[in-house]
Structure 1
């Protein structure tokens, strides 16, 4: 996998894989933490870092937020320490609509974020794939979506694919899906994930040694 984002723990999480992390989360917490597989301009990459959240809502021209730009919400979301964060975009109820593209999201590269996790579609996969950060979303779009959804709030708790994401949660995504890990639980979840991998390896050895009870019967 291409290491295109996240803190120094990124390679360790990538080696463990999303499934082991989800299993570990299930041992530590009871809430849903996983997102089903997403699409990326670089499907060999992984994404890891603390969440900087941006909430979308259905577009209305009579609310105050409609007069603000994506840039306004972006800078509120990442605050004064954008490096290695993951920009998490909620869908506003429209996961099949574009929530951004290569031009707006060039800010992610400019400010050193780990990447983007979007619960909607994005435009300009060619551009996004060349920026050097990891992008995961619902798919590519060719149509602008600003007449359907609009940025509404930044730095707030959002819903993403049925998962509650709090600013500062750690987000990991790869080709198999994504997982959201509460900040305070990261060390424990990592330890549990290593245990999951060890246990699975032991089960594989046990299965390899199994005797077929029907072998030799006629």
Structure 2
């Protein structure tokens, strides 16, 4: 089931807005009731932390730089278009760290392709440059932090549309990504509908217990 399928069954309710209302913690709890693998990512940094990120993952794997590896000659642009495919709108560009989460993956100029292709945003397991420029873009950006130094002498984009390791979590192309100021969660596409249902149950349970606590009498 895709996000579009879900939007069709919930009338005019916007799926991204619904996820934002539930929040990352409820989605992580819901994932834990369905799957036993790690699916949560600790809080990231954003040029605009009030802007959540949601969409199916389009992945690019980074590796430590080598000058003799043929694949590296394709460069970021070629791998970007391979990753997002023929229907890029609404996707999340996910970049692995290549083992160097403090290195920069790029900045506003390189990532202007994200806006040009209508992606929902970027999730980078590394640093990004040009936060001021990225803040003005129409997409959401989450990463390890801001950088001023170019990172191309440390890491290189290596492969598109492959499973990647991201902060201890396995992300495969098509997994749904949700990120906000509290962290991020990776949801297998086939589990999205069920995760939404259970996340709502988690929220309802929390509301019930909150009322129970508020009705408790003070100990004598």
Same fold (TM over 0.5): yes
Deviation at 1:69, TM superposition (A): 1.6
Match for residue 39 of structure 2 among 29, 33, 39: 33
Q: Deviations for 1:160-185, whole angstroms, at most 9, x for unmatched residues? A: 11110010000000000000000000
- For the residues of structure 1 that align with 2:81 and 2:138, how far apart are their CA atoms? 20
1:124 aligns with 2:130: yes
- For the residues of structure 2 that align with 1:188 and 1:19, how far apart are their CA atoms? 16
1:175 aligns with 2:181: yes
Deviation at 1:66, TM superposition (A): 2.4
Alignment-derived partner of residue 69 in structure 2: 63
The RMSD of aligned alpha carbons is 0.8
Consecutive unaligned residues of structure 1, counting only runs of 5 or more, are 1-6
Q: Deviations for 1:158-210, whole angstroms, at most 9, x for unmatched residues? A: 01111100100000000000000000000000000000000000000010011
Match for residue 150 of structure 1 among 153, 156, 172: 156
TM-score with structure 2 setting the length: 0.93
TM-score with structure 1 setting the length: 0.94
Deviation at 1:212, TM superposition (A): 2.1
Q: Deviations for 1:117-161, whole angstroms, at most 9, x for unmatched residues? A: 000000000111111100000000000000000000000000111
Alignment-derived partner of residue 4 in structure 1: none
SS of the equivalent of 1:52 reads strand
SS of the equivalent of 2:52 reads strand
Consecutive unaligned residues of structure 2, counting only runs of 5 or more, are 1-6, 8-13
SS of the equivalent of 1:45 reads coil
Aligned pairs for 1:130-145 within 5 A: 130-145=136-151
SS of the equivalent of 1:128 reads helix
4+ residue segments displaced more than 2 Å: none
Alignment-derived partner of residue 11 in structure 2: none
Deviation at 1:86, TM superposition (A): 0.1
SS of the equivalent of 2:61 reads strand
SS of the equivalent of 1:76 reads helix
Match for residue 166 of structure 1 among 158, 168, 172: 172
Aligned length: 208
Aligned pairs for 1:1-218 within 5 A: 8-213=14-219, 215=220
